[in-house]
Amino acid sequence: MKFLSSLKNKNLSGRICLLRVDLNVKDSELNKNNLRVRAVLPTIKFLTEKGARVVILSHRGRPKPAKRADSEFRIQNLEFSLKPLAGILSRLLKKPVNFISLKELSTPKSAKEKISNSIKGSVFLAENLRFLPGEEKNDKKIAKQLASLGDFYVNDAFAVSHRANASVEAITKFLPSYAGLLMKKEIENLGKVMKAAKKPFVIILGGAKISDKLGIIKNFKKNADKFLIGGGVANTFLVAEGLPIGDSIFEEKMIPEAKKLLKLPPSTRSGQAKIILPVDYAMEKGKILDIGPETAKRYAEIIKKAKTIIWNGPMGYFENPKFAQGSKAVTEAILRSKAFAVIGGGETTSLFLNSKSKILNSKIFISTGGGAMLEYLGGKKLPGIEALRR
């Protein structure tokens, strides 16, 4: 794999870089200090400081592709437009960010002219790629059309690399392609837990659905010492154990799988069970909505002794502060621990970053990949990363 960082001493003056990033930010999150937006700034600066013209490519939300790139389509899809991100990036980069509309994007010759005529170090942001028919189908024609806009391609969108999309996969067939600075950080840090996790190795899993997390459990069932389970994931295990959970959320179809996992041989280090379930809960109206204080205490004790941690998925319905205590206890235990910790998932990272606790542990890596991180840690090959390896 070629890394952008290897071009550190190369002159990129006037070269046009197509930079695929993930700026998939909801309207309600636009004015917040967004992890995904901040995380791509170093790559943009790296490129512009070397004089490259940068054309930022991203998707936003799940719009239907345009039949025609006309203004009516634009108005119907305002919520998916990337236009607001141009202003946000411009403020953060302290320089103008020119917007490339869908119409311009669909007529690459004129877009190319506009880019080529800009001053060196200029930054452009193209409209939502998912407006283009073919982007999500990994269409070669669209990839080639995009590729015609630039001289080289950089993938810094780890969070989208589990999707074989034209701007992620097929485009690498048409341009010299590099992994960006953020992509490199993701691969290096996730690689640490994949290959050389120091023991005790503790994996904390919560959130809504066990089916999302199954890959991680399976991939680490030998290597991890303990899985601390919370959230809706715990409920499915509790049902598998034959325990009542009232009206709590759980996944019926995953019960057989959960039963199998509960029989995992104990950790050779401690001789104790691998899958650890809550022993008490916070409830409302017959629903388990958080782990209870005794569970939080036990989990914190285990986290304290860990040398490697992965955390994905909140311990409860944390959006209501009443049920955020379990996730708060886990956050604080990780911050106090000396372990190398990888934290990922949309909700998990936002709750972690918004916690008011002071960061004491500097060995924490916050991944920008939600689904991509789960697949990567689940041992799957991601099409966007494989394309860079070719």
Dihedral angle over CA of 240, 243, 249, 254, nearest 10: 0
Report the residue number, 102 or 258, with the smaller CB distance to ligand ADP.
258
Helix (H, G, I), strand (E, B) or coil at 45: helix
Report the residue number, 200 or 326, with the smaller CB distance to ligand ADP.
326
Under rule CB under 5 A, residue 212 binds Mg ion: no
Under rule CB under 6 A, residue 345 binds ligand ADP: yes
Question: Does residue 371 have an active-site annotation?
Answer: yes
Of 67-75, 150-158, 278-286, 343-351, which part binds Mg ion (CB under 5 A)? 343-351
Judge residue 94's burial from the number of C-beta atoms within 10 Å of its C-beta, 0-12 exposed, 13-18 middle, 19 or more buried: exposed
Question: Does residue 150 have an active-site annotation?
Answer: no
- State how far Cα 120 lies from the chain centre: 31
Which of residues 180, 316, 369, 383 is near ligand ADP by CB under 6 A? 316
- Shortest reach from residue 219's CB to Mg ion, in Å: 20
Under rule CB under 6 A, residue 348 binds ligand ADP: yes
- Mark residues 319-338: x for contact with ligand ADP by CB under 6 A, - for none: x-------------------
Question: Does residue 209 have an active-site annotation?
Answer: yes
Helix (H, G, I), strand (E, B) or coil at 186: helix
CA 285, CA 92: separation in Å to the nearest integer?
45
Residue from 346, 369, 370, 384 carrying the catalytic annotation:
346
CA 54, CA 121: separation in Å to the nearest integer?
7
Which of residues 126, 182, 224, 289 is near ligand ADP by CB under 6 A? 289
Question: Does residue 230 have an active-site annotation?
Answer: no
Q: Which of residues 179-238 bind ligand ADP (CB under 6 A)?
A: 206-208, 212, 231-232
Which of residues 206, 230, 314, 346 is near Mg ion by CB under 5 A? 346
Structural contact between residues 251 and 236, judged by C-beta atoms closer than 8 angstroms = yes
Q: How many CB atoms neighbour CB 180 within 10 A?
A: 29
- Mark residues 360-379: x for contact with ligand ADP by CB under 6 A, - for none: ----------x---------
Under rule CB under 5 A, residue 347 binds Mg ion: yes
Q: Using alpha carbons only, what angle is made at residue 203 by residues 201 and 209, rounded to the nearest 5 degrees?
A: 165
CA 136, CA 120: separation in Å to the nearest integer?
31
Residue 176 preceded by cis peptide, ω within 30: no
- Shortest reach from residue 367's CB to ligand ADP, in Å: 10
Tokens standing for residue 367: 């991944």
CA 326, CA 302: separation in Å to the nearest integer?
14
Of 5-13, 42-50, 133-141, 339-347, which part binds Mg ion (CB under 5 A)? 339-347
- Shortest reach from residue 368's CB to ligand ADP, in Å: 12
- Shortest reach from residue 28's CB to ligand ADP, in Å: 14
Sign of CA dihedral 115, 116, 117, 121: positive
Taking alpha carbons only, the member of 182, 122, 92, 123 closest to residue 365 is 182
List the catalytic residues: 36, 209, 346, 371
Q: Which parts of this chain interact with ligand ADP (CB under 6 A)?
A: 206-208, 212, 231-232, 249, 288-289, 312-314, 316-319, 345-348, 370
